[in-house]
Amino acid sequence: MGGRTGGVVMVSLLLVLSALEAEGQIVLDVCASCHANATCEDKPDGSGKVCNCKYGFVGNGRTFCQDKDECQIGANKICGQHTMCHNTYGSYFCTCLAGYSPSNSMPVFIPNDGTHCQDIDECRVTGLCGEGAQCRNLEGSFDCSCQVGYRVHGGSEPFHPQMDSAFCKVVDCGQPASVEDSALQSISGTTFGSVATFVCEDGFVWRRGENMSVCGADGRWRGATLVCEEISCSDPPVLPHAGQMWNGSSTPGSTVIYFCEAGFFHSGGNNLSVCTNNGNWTKADILCKAVDCGEPLPEPNAVMLWDKTSTVGSQVAYECARGYVNVGKGNISVCSARGKWEGASLSCQEISCGEPNFKRRAKMLWSGSSRVGSVVHYRCEEGCHTRGLRNHSRCGENGLWEDVDLWCEAKCGPVPFLPNAEVVWHNRSVAVHRCVAGFHSWRGSNVSTCRASGAWRRASLTCVEIKPPVNLLVVHDGNCLRWRAEKYEEDEEVYRVTYTGSRDYQIRFEDGGRRFLSSREQQPELCLRLLPLTNYSISVTATSVRFTATVTANTSLAAPAAPDVFYEEHETPVPTLRLHRSPDTLDPISVYQVFVLPVEGIMTFDCSSPASLASSSKIKTAEYITAQINVRNIGTEFNFTVGDGLFYGSFYNALLESGRNYYIILRAVNQWKTASKSFCVLWAKVSATSYVLRVSSLSAAAMVGVAALVLLWGYSFAWCVKNA
């Protein structure tokens, strides 16, 4: 507030002084009034002095000169590019930004002398970016990147070592991968630029490619294209007349053994050759000379067929002389590798035809010699005539007598007759018989021969009439078989009887069996266990001749089996009755019918009675069926309550009338189509209620009534007392 007032006074004073000066009344010393930060200078027009603020100050020069902030117009405008402006009292100075330096090499400057900021090349500093890195100078700065063979760690490229934690690390390829069939010989390291040298393994040779691998900038070994091929001596050399024992391997160390071929023998020299590391076989100088067996030895009673060669494999064949035959094995001798003739086991033996062939009814004229070329003559005996073209035989080189075309036939006359037989073939000396149609050979020979005496030896053939072994097969008495046995001797015959049964009313029903019967009878009989109402096919086979006869039989309907009923007498109109039964194959067509017969005077009951009332009627006066039950639906134990008011089949089981007596009859019925068989049994008697039972019942009813009256009287008395 005070300052503001002083200012106003000062301004007023100056105005007054100015006015006085204008009027020329007073003259002041201007220079004495200049501000401390001002200088007194002549006016340009020479009219007097004036106070001007010094450089770096602004004001009127007399009352105030305050500091001028030169930097407020911007460092680029007052100091130049890449600078910072620093204001001082009454002045200012400039400095360069980081990465730049003044052109006058001074730390600070005022640009009135032309000094400016120029870029600093930081990359001149050795090792600025670290090992493996290269520096790149930028305008006012720099950055670093990794050289080839180095990779940045802790950051990404480009990077600044003073701002980032990144650095360059040399690439490491690790151990080089092995090259096929080679081994690592030397390695200078595993980092970028390292070199690994490979050599081929033993038994292999360097054929092509580079054997050095260099660690690349990408961290992989490159450059090794070494190709090592297995040393091969190829196939061993072939030597004259020699074979090889060789497994086919041509690698160093492989061996081949030579041996002389068949027909040659080892007479000297080395027979072993080895594959060496230079790919060559060592020399084998085996010497094989040909084998010579010389002249073959002769064989007794034989001629030799030989081409005069005696080397290995040469052959000589031997043939027995005429009249001799080889009884040995081989007739070929071969020159073997051992220099010997081998293989012939010839044995020439003189041919003998033995005894001449016998001719029936002929005499032999023979010298006794059986050698090749010997001859025997035949002549028919007396009583026979000669047939044929040749009556002599010669001993041949095959050791057999020639066939003789000679027959001596006896003069026996006509062929003998056999009953029921005919002649199939005859030649005056022999006749063959057979049975005529309808007869068969039973026993005896079927050949008749003419004897030397001129009489026939008659055939013993017996022909009998053919009849079936099982004839007239019938079924009688329902279960028994009878047939006629046709036999030619009294021998015992074994019969096999098989039977199978089926039923029209039971699709899955099967019955069957097999029986054997040994019998000498002319009319055997056999009874079977056939089930009733079943269709049977029965076969009887005579096992000795395998003849079978078949007959069919339809067994009749049998009466049902009687159940075991428990007869009881009851005095209740609803009695429960019991029975026990056994299962039967006829259960599917069996029913139980329960008859109720009122007892009235003299009674008769016909088991075949159809009942006197309709099945659905509930009013029963005479005998009636009160229930009909299918047997197949009940078990072995059965309970039935008479008068339970239910329907059984189509019959109503009505309650028995009280005061009447009844007989309960059970009828078992087997029925199929129109056939029916039944069986009846008295099951129970139901009597009317007795006099004692009626009196007891009335007494009990009276007692109940008296008790009720007593209770009613007591209740009434208590009510009256309470109201009074």
Give the tens place of pLDDT for each residue, 386-440: 778 888 999 988 889 998 888 887 778 788 999 999 999 987 778 999 999 888 8
- pLDDT reading at 158 higher than 70: yes
Six token digits for residue 651: 């019959």
Q: What's the predicted TM-score (pTM) here?
A: 0.35
**Nearest alpha-carbon partner for 516 in 541, 536, 537:** 541
Positive or negative torsion for Cα 105, 110, 116, 117: positive
> What does the pLDDT read at residue 648?
92
> What does the pLDDT read at residue 696?
47
- Strand segments (E) across 372-438: 375-380, 384-387, 392-394, 407-410, 421-426, 430-435
| pLDDT tens digits for range 293-344 | 888 988 888 898 989 888 888 899 999 888 888 888 888 999 888 888 888 8
Query: Could you give the residue range(s) of every CATH 2.10.70.10 domain in the chain?
Result: 182-230, 302-350, 362-410
> What does the pLDDT read at residue 701?
54
> What does the pLDDT read at residue 169?
87
> What does the pLDDT read at residue 80?
84
Query: Could you give the residue range(s) of every CATH 2.10.25.10 domain in the chain?
Result: 2-68, 71-119
| pLDDT tier at 692, thresholds 50, 70, 90 | very low
- pLDDT reading at 53 higher than 70: yes
Determine what percent of the chain is predicted with pLDDT higher than 90: 24
3-state secondary structure 647-715: EECCEECCCCCCCCCEEEEEEEEEEECCEEEEEEEEEEEECCCCHHHHHHHHHHHHHHHHHHHHHHHHH
Return d(Cα 102, Cα 74) in angstroms, integer.
Answer: 18
CA angle 79, 80, 83 (to 5 degrees): 70
**Nearest alpha-carbon partner for 658 in 694, 604, 623:** 694
- pLDDT reading at 18 higher than 70: no
Six token digits for residue 637: 């134990």
| pLDDT tier at 724, thresholds 50, 70, 90 | low
Average pLDDT over residues 64-90: 84
The CATH architecture to which 302-350 belongs is Ribbon (2.10)
The size of the chain, in residues, is: 724
- pLDDT reading at 4 higher than 60: no
Question: What CATH number has the domain spanning 362-410?
Answer: 2.10.70.10
More confident residue, 258 or 413: 258
Six token digits for residue 319: 């043939």
Six token digits for residue 672: 């199929």
Return d(Cα 263, Cα 338) in angstroms, integer.
Answer: 8
> What does the pLDDT read at residue 211?
85
Q: Report the topology of domain 2-68.
A: Laminin (2.10.25)
Q: Mean pLDDT in the chain?
A: 83
| pLDDT tier at 16, thresholds 50, 70, 90 | very low
Sequence-distant (6+) residues with CB within 8 A of 651 are 615, 616, 625, 626, 627, 628
- pLDDT reading at 544 higher than 60: yes
Return d(Cα 374, Cα 393) in angstroms, integer.
Answer: 8
> What does the pLDDT read at residue 327?
85
- pLDDT reading at 292 higher than 90: no
Return d(Cα 599, Cα 40) in angstroms, integer.
Answer: 178
| pLDDT tier at 695, thresholds 50, 70, 90 | very low
**Nearest alpha-carbon partner for 577 in 676, 664, 653, 485:** 664
- pLDDT reading at 659 higher than 50: yes
Question: What CATH number has the domain spanning 470-554?
Answer: 2.60.40
Cβ neighbours, 10 Å, residue 143 = 20
Superfamily of domain 182-230, CATH level 4: Complement Module, domain 1 (2.10.70.10)
> What does the pLDDT read at residue 19?
46
> What does the pLDDT read at residue 1?
41
Six token digits for residue 145: 């990147």
The CATH architecture to which 242-290 belongs is Ribbon (2.10)
Longest dimension (CA), the chain: 225
Query: Could you give the residue range(s) of every CATH 2.60.40 domain in the chain?
Result: 470-554, 564-692
Chain center to CA of 501: 47
Return d(Cα 389, Cα 375) in angstroms, integer.
Answer: 16
More confident residue, 109 or 410: 109
Q: Are 183 and 201 in contact (CB under 8 A)?
A: yes
- pLDDT reading at 22 higher than 70: no
> What does the pLDDT read at residue 714?
67
| pLDDT tens digits for range 449-458 | 888 777 888 9
- pLDDT reading at 377 higher than 90: yes
Q: Which of the residue ranges 188-192, 278-282, 715-719 would you say has the lowest mean pLDDT?
A: 715-719
Pairing state between β 568-570 and 675-686: parallel
Q: Which of the residue ranges 483-492, 501-510, 604-613 would you say has the lowest mean pLDDT?
A: 604-613
> What does the pLDDT read at residue 610?
67
- pLDDT reading at 570 higher than 60: yes
- Using CA atoms, how far residue 588 sits from 256, 572, 669, in Å, is 96, 34, 11
Q: Are 188 and 172 in contact (CB under 8 A)?
A: no
Cis peptide leading into 158, omega within 30 of 0?
yes
- pLDDT reading at 5 higher than 60: no
DSSP letters, 48-101, are: -EEEEEPTTEEE-SSS-EEEP-GGGG-HHHHT-TTEEEEEETTEEEEEEPTTEE
Q: Report the topology of domain 71-119.
A: Laminin (2.10.25)
| pLDDT tens digits for range 199-248 | 888 878 887 888 899 998 888 888 788 888 888 888 899 999 899 999 98
More confident residue, 248 or 498: 498
Q: Report the topology of domain 564-692.
A: Immunoglobulin-like (2.60.40)
- pLDDT reading at 711 higher than 90: no
Q: Which of the residue ranges 281-285, 416-420, 426-430, 528-532 would you say has the lowest mean pLDDT?
A: 426-430
Q: Report the topology of domain 122-170.
A: Laminin (2.10.25)
Question: What CATH number has the domain spanning 421-465?
Answer: 2.20.28
> What does the pLDDT read at residue 3?
41
- Using CA atoms, how far residue 436 sits from 350, 422, 457, 467, in Å, is 55, 6, 21, 14
Return d(Cα 118, Cα 97) in angstroms, integer.
Answer: 10
| pLDDT tier at 122, thresholds 50, 70, 90 | confident
- pLDDT reading at 665 higher than 90: yes
User: How buried is residue 101: exposed, middle or buried, by Cβ count under 10 Å (0-12/13-18/19+)?
Assistant: middle
- pLDDT reading at 43 higher than 80: yes
Return d(Cα 488, Cα 32) in angstroms, integer.
Answer: 192
